[in-house]
Chain A
Amino acid sequence: MRERHASRATRRAREFEAFVAGAAGRLLHAATLLTAESPDDNPRARRLLTLALAHTYASWDRLRGEDPYDRARQHLATRFARGAWHQHGGLGRARPHPGSPLAPLTPQERLILVLRLCEGVGEEQTAALLGLSAERVRAICHRAATTLLHRSRNPATAVSATKATPS
Chain B
Amino acid sequence: MRGNDREAAVRRLMEQAPPPVPPEIHSEAVRRGERMLRRRALARRVLWLLAFAAVVAFTVWALTARPWVEPPSDTTPPLTGW
What residues make up the interface of A, taking CB atoms closer than 8 Å to B?
A: 13, 16-17, 20-21, 24-26, 28-29, 32-33, 39-40, 42, 45-46, 49-51, 53-58, 60, 101-102, 113-114, 117-118, 145, 148-149, 152
Contact = CB atoms under 8 A, between A and B. Distances in A.
A60 B34 CA distance: 11
B18 A28 contact: yes
Nearest to A114: B14
B10 A117 contact: yes
Given A54-B36, A145-B7, A24 B25 contact: yes
Contacts, number: 90
A164 to B, nearest CB: 23
- Contact count band on B: 20 to 34
Nearest to B34: A57
Nearest to A102: B14
A117 B11 contact: yes
Given A25-B21, A53-B26, A149-B6, 11 more contacts: A21-B26, A28-B18, A50-B28, A54-B29, A54-B33, A56-B33, A57-B32, A113-B10, A118-B11, A152-B9, A152-B13
